[in-house]
Structure 1
Amino acid sequence: MSDSLQEVYHIREMRLEDVRRIILIEREIFLFPWTEMNFADSITAGYYCRVIELNDLLIGYGIMMIGPDEAHILTIGISAQWQHQGWGRRLLQYFIDLARQQQSVAVLLDVRVSNGVAANLYRQLGFEQIAIRKGYYPAMGGREDALVMRLKL
């Protein structure tokens, strides 16, 4: 990623009017995408809903909720054409920093067992697998397990 690109991106609060663009990315990258209502409910519930923009182009999004001690990243996604360029790492680091600011002691997330690229990114950032949720995700022809990963802050 060039220095000029680093200067033109920003992360901001997700708005209801963003949901239609987010859904396009969601459908592009996930076989079993969230619905518009899932995103709208997260915004109205007051979760930490953010988008990452590059030159006013929405290229990714994430949602995190924070409980008394822990933050839980509910979803994170980067448009396919912008993946493998460091944008997911930047957005994830933003959420980790936000969790620290909110005095969380850990960040939790779930990832499909088959999503090795994401799991490796999480490990690079210090997340450790702490459990497996059997049959957590819908999958073609059944269900898929989720790795539960935690980053101690």
Structure 2
Amino acid sequence: MAQVLPLSIAQLSQMLLVEQQAHPYPWDEATLASCFGRFYQQLGLFDDNAQLIGFSIMQCLFEEATLMNICVKPSEQGKGFGKLLLEQTIASLKAQHIEVLLLEVRVSNASAIGLYRHLGFIETGSRRNYYHTAAGREDAMLMELKLHCDIQA
């Protein structure tokens, strides 16, 4: 059974491999390394053989968190691992009394948008021409999830 555990900078090379497989325009090693700073948290998704198959990176400031990156190796996608990783990420943030989780996603990433909506995220806006594509640029959809019911809109 897959397991979600905190990551350390020592696992950076493993994260980079997953990142390069999962994203058409992956972050480089320096960008991933910069996400081990003071305001960041990382969770890894490990398979039965203790191999990293996915990860999430959150930036947490006060009562707000931003999902900076989440990915699962393409060979492991469609098996519920992305949902498991995101649910564990949300549970971790709730335990820290984070009130809202923000994210941005490519408008063309229908499977991710479907997962986010299924877990209660709502669309809050967009960023025009935010992501690189082979044909140029595409928009980002902004989404958020309120993590505690007592938050006023």
Match of 1:62 among 52, 56, 66: 56
Structure 2 equivalent of residue 135 of structure 1: 129
State the distance in 2 between where 1:45 and 1:85 align: 33
Structure 1 residue 20 corresponds to structure 2 residue 32:
no
Residues 79-104 of structure 1 deviation map (CA, whole Å, 9 limit, x = unaligned): 11111111111110111112211222
Q: Identity percentage over the alignment?
A: 34
Go from structure 1 to structure 2 and tell me whether the alpha carbon gap of 1:35 and 1:45 turns closer, same or farther (over 3 Å shift).
farther
State the distance in 2 between where 1:81 and 1:140 align: 22
- C-alpha displacement of 1:16: 2.0
Any runs of at least 4 consecutive aligned residues in structure 1 with deviations exceeding 4 A, and if so which?
Answer: none
Match of 2:76 among 76, 82, 88: 82
State the distance in 1 between where 2:37 and 2:65 align: 18
Q: Within 5 Å, which residues of 2 pair with 1:1-153?
A: 5=1, 9-54=2-47, 55-153=49-147
- C-alpha displacement of 1:67: 1.4
What TM-score comes out, normalization by structure 2 length?
Answer: 0.90
Q: Is the 8 A contact 1:50 1:62 kept in 2?
A: yes
Q: Which runs of 5+ in 2 are unaligned?
A: 148-153
* Partner-residue secondary structure (3-state), 1:25: helix
Q: Is the 8 A contact 2:65 2:101 kept in 1?
A: yes
Residues 95-128 of structure 1 deviation map (CA, whole Å, 9 limit, x = unaligned): 1112211222211111000000000000000001
What TM-score comes out, normalization by structure 1 length?
Answer: 0.90
- C-alpha displacement of 1:25: 1.6
State the distance in 1 between where 2:59 and 2:143 align: 15
State the distance in 2 between where 1:81 and 1:141 align: 25
> Which sits farther off after the overlay, 95-104 or 129-138?
95-104
